[in-house]
Amino acid sequence: MRFGFKDLDVWRKALTFANKVISIAENLDSDRKHFRLVENIEAAVVSIASNIAEGAGRSHKKEFVQYLYIARGSLYEVVTFLEIFSDKKWITAENHQNLLKDAEEIVKMISGLISSLQR
């Protein structure tokens, strides 16, 4: 069986982003482990690629667009966690900036896909 979502650049980028964020979250520079925050950021970051894939598997463009909006919302949630982690100095400034750069690229890709589907 062929999964068409795997051909989407935005899905591949979101998957790479998820793996980066999870790797960094597993190694927070904190004397406490903050398990709930780590679980929440991991769930949110996985939700980005998952919703893109799920939406791509739907029968109608409107449904796909709705899942893309959910994916974008999850991305915003991850950015919020990254801001907190940066403010707390749990992640390096370099990691923070690199992840924000990735997030900006992904949000542009999601928004572009939404626009193309709504034409």
Q: Are 65 and 118 in contact (CB under 8 A)?
A: yes
- 17 — pLDDT class (breaks 50, 70, 90): very high
Q: Which residue has the higher pLDDT, 14 or 59?
A: 14
Q: Are 110 and 67 in contact (CB under 8 A)?
A: no
Q: How confident is the model at residue 20, as a pLDDT?
A: 98
Burial 49-76 (b: 16+ CB within 10 A, else e): bbbbbbbbeeeeeeebbebbebbbebbe
Q: Spelled out in words, what is the top-level CATH class assigned to the domain 9-117? A: mainly alpha
Averaged pLDDT of the chain: 94
Pick from 28, 75, 56: which is nearest to 114 by CA? 56
